[in-house]
Amino acid sequence: MDPAFVPFQPSQVRHRCFCFCIPVRWGTWVLTALTAVLSATIALATLLSLWSDDNDMPRLAAVQVVMVFVWSGLVVICGFGWVGTIMQKSAWVECYYEFCWWHLWANVLFGFFGLLLFNLPVSRAESVASCYTVGMAQEQLMHLAYKVSAERANAIAATCQSQTQLGVILVDLVWAVAILTELWLILVVGHYTDELADRDAAIEFGVDIENPNPPYHFAGIPPEEKHERYHSAGKHSKKSHHRRRH
């Protein structure tokens, strides 16, 4: 190696953090696991609702099937990213980052459409009617009677109304939390890909592509050519660095 060249070491790469002190590598690892668990829970709950005999909105079955595939797909994507994070494979994490962006847009599109159908008055009426039918049947079985008093029937109807309203709010809230969690994950993964790109550049070229004034020089090379080589190495190792930061 040219003695005039002082290489930038991988150990000198700046470790990015989020939430003030948590390294992005650990954040990617933890948020990936959290997102996978949340996605699996939503997919399983949707699947159980689809298979349930008490499914109160059968006409939304197609939307439920799509959501099962969407959330199950995120579990697979998270598994891929989780392994890439542990192994510190920049190519894997880069693919994980891109997959998460595509999934987020698909999730927003299909999720918004599903919630729109779920919040329609006709959908709420179907849900209330199904709940009322089940409630009346349970009331008859509990009291071994063929008829239920008007007062009790009104109470069951009011309970079904409130439960349906609460269910709609909870579904909207869970979807919003899931979207925000996935967006947060994407932002953290984006910073981690930057860190891995810096690390790869230090390993392969011995350069610090984050620092515009690197603490080294190339002997016998004019300053303008030196900077050209420096930026070329940076672009080669970190082609999406500028796009992520802006």
Three-class secondary structure assignment of 181-228: HHHHHHHHHHHHHHHHHHHHHHHHCCCCCCCCCCCCCCCCCCHHHHHH
Range of the domain at 15: 10-245
**pTM of the predicted model, to two decimals?**
0.68
Two tokens, residue 83: 């392994």
Model pLDDT, residue 202: 67
Model pLDDT, residue 241: 46
How far, CA to CA in Å, does 32 sit from each of 59, 86, 97, 103, 125? 33, 11, 11, 14, 38
Residue 62 included in any domain: yes
Indicate the number of domains in the chain: 1
H/E element holding 18?
strand 17-18
> Assign residue 220 a region: left if phi > 0, alpha if psi is -120 to 50, beta otherwise?
left
Nearest-angstrom CA–CA distance, 50 and 71: 14
Residue 4 included in any domain: no
Model pLDDT, residue 166: 92
How long, in residues, is the chain?
A: 246
Residue 3 included in any domain: no
Residue 198's identity, in one-letter code, is D
160, 131 Cβ separation under 8 angstroms: yes
Residue 209 included in any domain: yes
Average pLDDT per block of 10 residues along the chain, 246 residues long: 54 67 83 90 88 67 85 91 87 91 90 87 85 81 73 86 90 90 89 79 63 49 48 47 46
Residue 41 included in any domain: yes
Residue 5 included in any domain: no
Tokens 């599109």, residue located: 109
Residue 42 included in any domain: yes
Residue 224 included in any domain: yes
82, 66 Cβ separation under 8 angstroms: no
What value, to the nearest 5°, has the Cα angle with vertex 141 and ends 149 and 167? 80
78, 21 Cβ separation under 8 angstroms: no
